[in-house]
Chain A
Amino acid sequence: MMGDRPSPPRAMSSAATTSPSVDKVDGFSRKSVRKAKQKRSQSSSQFRSQGKPIELTPLPLLKDVPAPEQPELFLKKLQQCCTVFDFMDTLSDLKMKEYKRSTLNELVDYVTVSRGYLTEQAYPEVVKMVSHNIFRTLPPSDSNEFDPEEDEPTLEASWPHLQLVYEFFIRFLESQEFQPSIAKKYIDQKFVLQLLELFDSEDPRERDYLKTVLHRIYGKFLGLRAFIRKQINNIFLRFVYETEHFNGVAELLEILGSIINGFALPLKAEHKQFLVKVLIPLHTVRSLSLFHAQLAYCIVQFLEKDPTLTEPVIRGLLKFWPKTCSQKEVMFLGELEEILDVIEPTQFVKIQEPLFKQISRCVSSPHFQVAERALYYWNNEYIMSLIEENSSVILPIMFANLYRISKEHWNPAIVALVYNVLKAFMEMNSTLFDELTASYKSDRQREKKKEKEREELWKKLEDLELKRGLRSDGIIPT
């Protein structure tokens, strides 16, 4: 009965099975030397002064005592499980570690199948046991430049126990007997705050459990919802503007994705502010690729709720458009296409000019993946129909770059795509197309002339500065 439990309900991350130490060739860099080390404990500062072996008195199995005695025994077992072991020391307390593991297993089973176990006294004990086990200061990351895409995550050493504690907690929250009205005394703001801090854990398995836990808490404790949203805001703002480091951004966004779904209309100002002041700036972070899918999902959710937000969102993306990182630029283009897929034609008209100025720049990017991604828009039927409706505005914006690229882009695939786009435009609006072709040269000349005038203006201004500077020995005349 106990053997088939607990089955981790969520997909186990592949990270769980990969080896932690792959030595790089150049062993001199910090990175590869540290890689040679064993996995490290995430149980940080918990074991400062524990030298003594831990003794727990074995208790009978819950199923072996009569039903009336079970709640009392349940509490005792919870208290025993508050004891935390040092998993970095793989030799110490082996027996007791195994005892705690089997007790936790039993508790997981018990809360899943038993009825009438959840007395009012049990709530504080459950929360206490969970807090003792999961709340801890996360250890330093192995390296300052930890790259979650490249580096192996550090796995939590005490996972054999921790997993069961999370498992137990989730079953407790999901149990039919669970009453939020009692639990809210113990699962409070402070509890949630500590829970949110754990999302920075490097262990993807832990973050996955945390996601479920937080989602359940958000669902069951109405009084904590605003607080949770606000704290997530703070985490994101700190991530964007202060540290650029937080491991659980993708998981938090995933939770938010489902929360946004449930927002009532009209949207509250608080939610709109979250979109514009938090979600949009998240695009600026260097590690965007790690959570971009979840972020784009949240954005689209917002726009489906309230299409009038399209303009500020697109303007925001344009403001933060990547200048040098082509990989990010491709992600932006992908997200923009998702937005355009759901855009209303009336919204499209409002934003088309700045939008297509940017797309025109992307199309002429020397990086072929960027150019290619932008040109793929013309394969999207809905976008095509929008472009066609507004060809008189869009074609003049796009034309010069398309024309130039068709002649001078280094990549033949891009040139071929550009020809298709030009052809499409020609079919859409041949009169305008012909006009633009005819005036292409004179337009370029006019631009050059304007450029020259600018230069002259600045030259004059600088002469003036020099003259005045000389005349007054650096003291600016009034």
Chain B
Amino acid sequence: MAGADGDDSLYPIAVLIDELRNEDVQLRLNSIKKLSTIALALGVERTRTELLPFLTDTIYDEDEVLLALAEQLGNFTMLVGGPEYVHCLLPPLESLATVEETVVRDKAVESLRKISQEHSPVDLEVHFEPLVKRLASGDWFTSRTSACGLFSVCYPRVSSTVKAEIRQHFRTLCSDDTPMVRRAAASKLGEFAKVLELDYVKSDIISLFTALASDEQDSVRLLAVEACVSIATLLPQEDLETLVMPTLRQAAEDKSWRVRYMVADKFSELQKAVGPEITKNDLVPAFQNLLKDCEAEVRAAAANKVKEFCENLPEDNREQIIMTHILPCVKELVSDTNQHVKSALASVIMGLSTILGKENTIEHLLPLFLAQLKDECPEVRLNIISNLDCVNEVIGIRQLSQSLLPAIVELAEDAKWRVRLAIIEYMPLLAGQLGVEFFDEKLNTLCMAWLIDHVYAIREAATCNLMKLVEKFGAEWAQNTIVPKVLGMANDPNYLHRMTTLFCINALSEVCGQEITTKQMLPVVVKMASDQVANVRFNVAKSLQKIGPVLDNNALQTQVKPVLEQLKADSDMDVKYFAQEALTVLALA
């Protein structure tokens, strides 16, 4: 052993194991998390012969401890002596893979998958694959569930006899009588298909897929939809029609909305996997049905995919398909009864304009955008406004501005502060697209009004918004339009508004630059140092600290320092504190 300078004897295993057995769960957990340190102290041989057997034997603990253990063991290969000994880690992980608690089991499986890669092909067959088989034929469902995740990692590296066995085990688990195991198998079906030889995909996987997709439990059927994507990707185009499509068609019309939801949710992936021809013949009508589904959940999931689906349609007749098949459904969704459907649609609908081009957009989409801008639900309006950039590129925002303005104004004055907050966040984006003139004319007053909102979060966001606007429009614009208004608030009778002035100065000084800061802002800040409200005064100290770096040394020495000295002698302890802090940070003390 390399550490053979005598210090190994300092750490008798008993002491270390005592730590792992501590009565306090938290201490036990800490020890487990440092298991690698313990192993290091013991050296690889004693780790193998003493520590691991101990861990394997005493696996009855709180799930939290077991989770930590399962994770640790995944990184233990070097600590037991490298790949040739990695199989020593299998017994404790095998026990952990049978635990009830899902997170523990999943972590154990993850670690097993990880260390499977460190096994030599021989060890994989001698040690790892038997473990998988034991798990696959375990009594309680937990071990069989875990086994499902291990087939695909050993399959590619074992002999053909063992491969046949693995396929057989997987097949058995796909028809297990507990739905938990069937779900686990269904969720790994795609992954397993990927490592199988194409012939076996056709002969084995397809029949399993078909069976799982018509399982009596919808929770199993919906997982088969996920597998459908991988399987369809693996098969040559000419086999898809006979091997995959009947099942997919059935899933799209399943009586359970959960399965239809899954189809809607995976629609873009499915579309890519089956290719343009099948998309045209099958997926277009299926998508129409999903957009018209009787459950709002399904419609919302499908609405979310409208843009992606249209984008991925074969280009040769994309426009025609959209105009005749998709757009009529989309039009109906604009006035859906469910707000989540409308809002899902609103988050993607603008993307259609790039696909359909200027004329179609003006004629067909614009009326929809305008209707959504007037929707009763604020989320719908927000989603439209937040995606304006797509339309801007195609038709220019002017087309919308007449309707945009009332919508923005209404959101800006919404009774719910979260709505106001959301629209503020889009202001810089809007300003960029609408241009400075439009902004000054229509939106500037809104931005200033937010500064005196009665909700702090709005005032704060408004401050930050001003900074971003100045970044866009430049210091000169700031000097003319917003700085005077901001500084005017310093004389407001409400101390909260006076503080807003300071917060704005904090945000703006850097983007406005030294000249504006020194000539216009600093005098105001200095004046406020004798405000009668202590909160304003200590914010003066904080502001000075903040704008100090923008000022030149002369201003610092002649204007900032005296004020801070004065505040340092204030009667209020907070004012003193922040004045002192500012002096220190600015190195004026």
Contact = CB atoms under 8 A, between A and B. Distances in A.
A137 B339 contact: no
Interface in B17-68: 19, 23, 27, 34, 36-38, 40-41, 44, 62
A398 B513 CA distance: 68
B11 A461 contact: yes
A350 interface: no
Given A137-B257, A465-B37, A44 B294 contact: yes
A277 B2 contact: no
A156 to B, nearest CB: 16
A461 B34 contact: yes
Nearest to B177: A230
B10 A460 contact: yes
A478 B44 CA distance: 6
A13 to B, nearest CB: 25
Contacts of B1: 477-478
Interface string A433-472: 0000000000000000000001001101110110010011
Contact of A139 (B82, B255, B257, B378): B257
B79 interface: yes
A277 B294 contact: no
A30 B339 CA distance: 9
* Interface of chain A: mostly helix, strand, loop or mixed: helix
A157 interface: no
A124 interface: no
A242 interface: yes
B295 interface: yes
* Interface of chain B: mostly helix, strand, loop or mixed: helix
Interface string A1-38: 00000000000000000000000001110100110000
B515 interface: no
A140 B218 CA distance: 13
Contacts of B82: 478
B132 to A, nearest CB: 21
A45 B295 contact: yes
Contacts of A465: 36-37, 40-41
B100 interface: yes
Interface residues of B, number: 49
A471 B418 CA distance: 57
Interface stretch (A112-120, A233-241, A255-263): A233-241
B37 A28 contact: no
A265 interface: no
A375 to B, nearest CB: 23
B100 A234 contact: no
B3 A468 contact: yes
Interface residues of A, number: 39
A48 interface: yes
A476 interface: yes
B15 A44 contact: no
B378 A140 contact: no
Contact of B40 (A28, A45, A476): A476
Interface string A187-203: 00010010000000000
Contacts of B214: none
B418 A28 contact: yes
A241 B40 CA distance: 35
Interface string A345-362: 000000000000100000
Contacts of A48: 294
A319 interface: yes
B40 A468 contact: yes
Contacts of A44: 257, 294-295
Contact of A457 (B15, B140, B419): B15
A234 B218 CA distance: 14
B413 interface: no
A458 B40 contact: no
Contacts of A472: 2
A334 interface: no
B159 to A, nearest CB: 31
Contacts of B183: 242
Contact of A458 (B3, B34, B297): B34
A173 B38 CA distance: 65
Most buried by B among A30, A34, A44, A241: A241
Contact of B180 (A190, A237, A357): A237
A234 B179 contact: yes
Interface string B295-333: 111000000000000000000000000000000000000
24 contacts: A28-B419, A30-B340, A44-B294, A45-B294, A137-B255, A140-B257, A190-B216, A237-B141, A237-B178, A238-B180, A241-B180, A277-B100, A319-B62, A357-B23, A461-B40, A462-B37, A464-B37, A464-B40, A465-B36, A468-B2, A468-B3, A471-B2, A476-B78, A478-B82
The 9 closest A-B pairs by CB, nearest first: A477-B2, A28-B416, A140-B297, A137-B256, A241-B102, A476-B78, A28-B418, A461-B37, A465-B37
Interface of A: 26-28, 30, 33-34, 44-45, 47-48, 137, 139-140, 190, 193, 234, 237-238, 241-242, 277, 281, 319, 357, 454, 457-458, 460-462, 464-465, 468, 471-472, 475-478
Given A140-B257, A234-B178, A238-B219, 9 more contacts: A33-B377, A45-B255, A137-B218, A241-B100, A357-B23, A461-B37, A472-B2, A476-B44, A478-B82
